[in-house]
Amino acid sequence: MKYETRNVVANPLQGSSGQSTKGGDPGLQLIVRGPTQEGANVSTAELVTKRRDLYHGSYRAAIKYSKEPGTCGAMFWYKNETQEIDVELLSYEDKSSSSTSPVHFVLHSEGPSDHETPQLPFHPSEGFHEYRFDWSPGKVAYYVDGKHIKDLTKGVPEVPGSLILNHWSSGN
């Protein structure tokens, strides 16, 4: 996996029309490009806040996830491998034959971690939805489109870190 700046593409709104300047959905696009040759790295995209002091608070993004098989789209707070708060969607789980799609809410920690996979009543690739987590001492509350979905309480981080948006694939 190789993160490349060329995979972060701005597609701003054109005036007040709601149309984008480059066509397609307006906003910031995080692109995954397949390997150019057998065994090569998959080219992916990631945005990381410059600030490393983000702590308790409410974090949200309006995201339309990819339908391309084999990718993971994520919004997460990160300090290190044992201090992480995740919202992840795996494209292979977004099945058109189903009326629901799973979202992964995860807390990584040195001790007990927490993971829930509730079903969303829509396909994340079919439109923009607001994904949010509210982080307070001892609890992370997850929301989708303003609706409370789940609280996780095991392994809640208690140190500051960064917020990350990424779109990646290991190539499978």
pLDDT digits (tens, 9 = 90+) for 84-102: 999 999 988 887 778 889 9
Residues 6+ apart with CB under 8 A from 118: 102, 103, 105, 149, 150
Quote the mean pLDDT of the chain.
88
Residue 136 to residue 97: CA distance in whole angstroms: 37
Q: Please say if the pLDDT value at position 61 is more than 70.
A: yes
Burial of 55 (0-12, 13-18, 19+ CB in 10 A): exposed
pTM: 0.88
Report the pLDDT value the prediction gives residue 39, as an integer from 0 to 100: 64
pLDDT in tens, 19-43: 888 888 888 888 888 766 666 677 8
Please compute the mean of the pLDDT values over residues 140-162 and round it to a whole number.
97
